[in-house]
Amino acid sequence: MITASIHIVRQFGPVGGMERYVWELTHALARQGQKVMVVCEKLHEPTTEHIEVVELGQVKPKPRWLAMLRFSRRVSKFFNTFDRAGWIIHSHERTAVHQVTTFHGPPILQRKPKVLDWLSPRIMTWEYLERRELCADNVQRVLPNSLPVAAQLETFYPEAAVKIGAPAYPGVDPLFSTLKKSSDGHTIGFIGKEWKRKGLDFAVSVISELRKQDSGISFVVAGPEPDDIIHLFKGWPKDSYQLLGWTRAEDMLPQIDLLIHPAKVEPFGMVMAEANATGIPVLISNLCGISPLISEEQGSSLPLGDIKLWAQHCKSLLEQTELVHNLDLTWADLAQQHIHIYKSLIDV
């Protein structure tokens, strides 16, 4: 049976984590012979002729809460004149017309509330859009992108719990399993532009502790602008670290022996899945969405706080001789998961 799904995303193209997810999922569905349409603000790259794209035009990007509201209104206006018969409408944004939504990050209610939140149009609009996305009568299935996100949604929106499906984990490009390592056995890496949220300062402290035991350890950082983070390396020997700035994961990962990612908030963590596919162990915080998938066969998942414990695990992972077990997350499998979901909704 061929399914027909319309995916809603503001920016259609591999221009961000969530956007890459939608790009890869829709193309995987099309490759499996499914009928796919995308409704977006803008198409950023040429796509296959098997995906129909409707561009609604860009809205002013800031403030973000107003941009979400404006885009939602444009989407609703489009569907007011669109014949939905036979289509499953799948949103990845805060919209009002979908049967399926994928939730790509922690809910707004996860943040620590402030006394005057009720006076903030930004907070009130965000909460309204999020509740509508999850709890409206038209919503039949909510797909979290990790188990921690699923648990958060069940906590803050118990009325939507019956709609929450199994996690829809992102896939990994097959390219990563073909990469050849060029590392020296003593190199630890960090990838993440939003370095404060992803815990670079903590990682620096961990590697500093480890270097007290082994001065041959080096640290490679990709993502942040070097000028923004150079202060973290005050007192480090020049040859003990590299600050690469923005760098593609596939170019950086072969240079390292271990990926460290002590994030404070991380809904999933694609770079960890990519490192795993490359055969590199990962040391991550238990606040990462991917952490339930990480066992001793892939590395370690630890709570934040104990720098010496993290350094000890770094040392053990660098010294291990066992091959890293591949999680084998593929976009083709994700597409199959969605096809089963769409068929179940069509049969209702």
> Would residue 325 count as lying in a domain?
no
Looking at the structure, tell me whether residues 225 and 338 fall in a common domain: no
Contact 263, 285 (CB under 8 A): yes
Reported as type and span, the H/E element at residue 4 is strand 4-8
Contact 108, 68 (CB under 8 A): no
pLDDT tens track, the chain, 348 positions: 799 999 999 999 988 889 999 999 999 999 999 999 999 999 999 998 899 999 999 988 888 889 999 999 999 999 999 999 999 999 999 999 999 999 998 898 888 878 777 778 888 998 999 999 999 999 999 999 999 999 999 999 999 999 999 999 999 999 999 999 888 889 999 999 999 999 999 999 999 999 999 999 999 999 999 999 999 999 999 999 999 999 999 999 999 999 999 999 999 999 999 999 999 999 999 999 999 999 999 999 999 999 999 999 999 999 998 999 999 999 999 999 999 999 999 865
> Would residue 68 count as lying in a domain?
yes
Q: Which residue in the block uniquely carries the two structure tokens 């569907």?
A: 79
> Would residue 324 count as lying in a domain?
no
Cis upstream peptide for 167 (omega within 30°)? no
Contact 133, 163 (CB under 8 A): no
Return the pLDDT at 348: 58
Tell me the two tokens of residue 16.
């961000």
Looking at the structure, tell me whether residues 220 and 124 fall in a common domain: no
**pLDDT tens profile 201-226:** 999 999 999 999 999 999 999 999 99
Residues in the chain: 348
Looking at the structure, tell me whether residues 167 and 184 fall in a common domain: no
C-alpha–C-alpha distance, residues 183 and 5, integer Å = 43
Return the pLDDT at 97: 97
C-alpha–C-alpha distance, residues 256 and 241, integer Å = 12
C-alpha–C-alpha distance, residues 68 and 76, integer Å = 12
Return the pLDDT at 181: 87
> How many structural domains comprise the chain?
2
Task: Show the domain range for 28.
Answer: 4-171+330-346
Return the pLDDT at 113: 78
Give every CB contact of residue 247 below 8 A, 6+ residues apart in sequence.
Answer: 191, 222, 223
Looking at the structure, tell me whether residues 301 and 182 fall in a common domain: yes
Q: What string of DSSP letters covers 272-284?
A: HHHHHHHT--EEE
Return the pLDDT at 64: 87
Return the pLDDT at 60: 86
Looking at the structure, tell me whether residues 156 and 20 fall in a common domain: yes
The one-character DSSP state at 133 is H
Looking at the structure, tell me whether residues 13 and 159 fall in a common domain: yes
Return the pLDDT at 211: 96
| Burial of residue 183 (number of CB atoms within 10 Å: 0-12, 13-18, 19+) | middle
Looking at the structure, tell me whether residues 141 and 13 fall in a common domain: yes
Contact 123, 39 (CB under 8 A): no
Task: Tell me the CA distances in angstroms from 274 to 84, 172, 179, 259, 328, one per residue in order.
Answer: 37, 6, 11, 10, 10
Q: Hey, what amino acid is at 7?
A: H
Looking at the structure, tell me whether residues 134 and 186 fall in a common domain: no
CATH of the domain at 136: 3.40.50.2000
The one-character DSSP state at 180 is P
Q: What pairs with residue 35 in β-bridges?
A: 4
Q: What string of DSSP letters covers 214-234?
A: -TT-EEEEESS-HHHHGGGGT
> Would residue 50 count as lying in a domain?
yes
Tell me the two tokens of residue 172.
């990994």
> Would residue 183 count as lying in a domain?
yes
Looking at the structure, tell me whether residues 10 and 132 fall in a common domain: yes
Looking at the structure, tell me whether residues 249 and 162 fall in a common domain: no
Looking at the structure, tell me whether residues 165 and 199 fall in a common domain: no
Per DSSP, helices labelled H in the chain are: 17-31, 64-80, 121-135, 147-156, 200-213, 226-229, 249-252, 270-278, 307-319, 331-346
Tell me the two tokens of residue 127.
């909460």
Looking at the structure, tell me whether residues 222 and 99 fall in a common domain: no
